[in-house]
Structure 1
Amino acid sequence: MTNAPLPKKIDPRKLAERGVRIEGEAGISQFPNLASMLADEQGKVTVDLQFENDELRIRTIKGCAGGKVNMTCQRCLEPVEITVEANFNLAIAPTEEHAKTLPKYYDPLIVEGEELQLLSMVEEELILSLPIVPYHDDCSVQMSYGDEAAADAATDSDKTNPFSVLASLKADKQ
C-alpha cells in the first residue's frame, strides 16, 4: 500500500507475515486526542510503517510518523509551529505476559484481538513526542522564573510595611 489513505483498522499479524509497508497521510482532524492539545487542526501527518518478522520470528512494526502542527506558545500565547515525529520499533504481543518475554530493544504492542486501530496507535506515539512547554525560539515575551521573582521583590519593596506601626509604638515606649 503506497500513498493511499491510511486504513482505520489493520491486522498487524497478517501484515507482518506478508512484509507489508503502509505509507500515507492523515489530517490532524483524524486524531481527536492530538487535536485537542493543539492550537488548531491545520496540518497533516505522514506515516511510513514496515510490518515484518524479524530474525527471531517476532512480528514487528518499524517506521515513523510525523508532521508540522500548531501549538500555543506558552510565552506569548500565539500559535507556534512544532515539528512532531514518532519513531516506531514495536513488537506485537497477544498478552501482557508475552510482552514481558520480548527483547528489551522492542517496545511491546499488545494486540489481544485480530484488529488494531492504526490511527489510534499512531496518535498515541505522536502525543508522546509533543513538547511539554511549546514556545517560539525568538519570542519577544521572555520572562524567566528569576525575572519573575525580581519583579515580585520590586513590587514588594514599593508597598508599605504593615508592621511599621508596631515599630513606632515600640520606639514610643522607650
Structure 2
Amino acid sequence: MSSTQDNKPSALHASKVQVPTSTSMPDNISLNKWEDTGFEWAGEEAPSSFERLATILASEHEQSNIVLNTTLYRRNNVLHLAFTLTGEVWLTCQRCLRPIAIDLSDEYDIALLDNESQIRLVNEEQDYLLLDEIVTEQSPERLLPFKKLVEDEILLKTPMAPKHDDCEMSVEQFGKIPEEEETENPFAALASLKGNL
C-alpha cells in the first residue's frame, strides 16, 4: 500500500508535531492523546521484533535494523499515518535455499477514516483504513495498533516465494539412481507377426 500521492507531508518533515520521549517503537499510539496534536516517532527496529515477520526471516543471515520515520497528522479533517521505511530483510530463496535480501525502502501514507463517508475526502489512489476496524478500545484510551500496521506493510512488500533471479534449484539426491535395464520392446513381437500375415 505504498503511496503515490505527491502533496502529502513527508514523514520526516512534519510541522508543529509533538515528539514523545520514548526511544523504542511503540506498539500502539493513543488517539485520545495524539490525534489532534500530531505524533512523530523515528528510530530503528529489529526485524525479529515483528512477530509475524520473524517466522519467515532467514536464520542463516544476520538481520540489520529497519529505520523508521513516522508522522501521525490531520489534513482535510482526515487523520493520516505516514511513515518511511529504510532497510532490508533477509529471507530464504525458494530455489537454492540460500538467503536473499528483500529491500523494504518505501514511503507509505494511510488515511485513517472515522467512517465511510470520509472516503470522498481522500484521493482515489490513497490507501485508507476504517478506524472502527483497527482501533482497540482500552478504557479510557483508543489505541491505534501502530506496530501491527507497519508490519502489515512490510509483509505486503515481501514476496510469498522469494527467489534469486539467477540461481539453480537445490536438489538433494539420496542413494544411487538405479540404471534402467534394457528390455525388449513388446511391440517388436507384433511387428514380426505382421510380416508373417
Deviation at 1:59, TM superposition (A): 1.2
Equivalent in the alignment of 1:46: 67
Equivalent in the alignment of 1:154: none
CA deviations over 1:16-73 (Å, ceiling 9, x no partner): 421322112221222111111221373322211111111x221111222242211112
Matches within 5 A, 1:83-94: 83-94=103-114
Does residue 126 of structure 1 match 2:154?
Answer: yes
Identity level (%): 28
TM-score, L = length of structure 1? 0.72
Equivalent in the alignment of 2:25: 6
Equivalent in the alignment of 1:76: 96
Deviation at 1:117, TM superposition (A): 1.5
Distance 1:164 1:91, change over 3 A: same
Out of 20, 40, 44, the position equivalent to 2:39 is 20
Equivalent in the alignment of 1:172: 193
SS at match of 1:91: strand
TM-score, L = length of structure 2? 0.65
Structure 2's unaligned 5+ residue stretches are: 1-18, 136-141, 171-178
Matched residues, number: 157
Deviation at 1:98, TM superposition (A): 4.0
Does residue 107 of structure 1 match 2:127?
Answer: yes
CA deviations over 1:91-135 (Å, ceiling 9, x no partner): 11134x346444223211222242112111100000000134423
SS at match of 2:88: strand
Distance 1:130 1:49, change over 3 A: same
Distance 1:66 1:127, change over 3 A: farther
Equivalent in the alignment of 1:37: 56
Specify which structure has the higher proportion of helix.
1
Q: Which structure 1 residue ranges, 4+ long, deviate > 6 Å from structure 2?
A: 158-163
Alignment RMSD: 3.1
Structure-2 separation of matches of 1:171 and 1:129 = 65
SS at match of 2:162: coil
Structure-1 separation of matches of 2:192 and 2:74 = 87
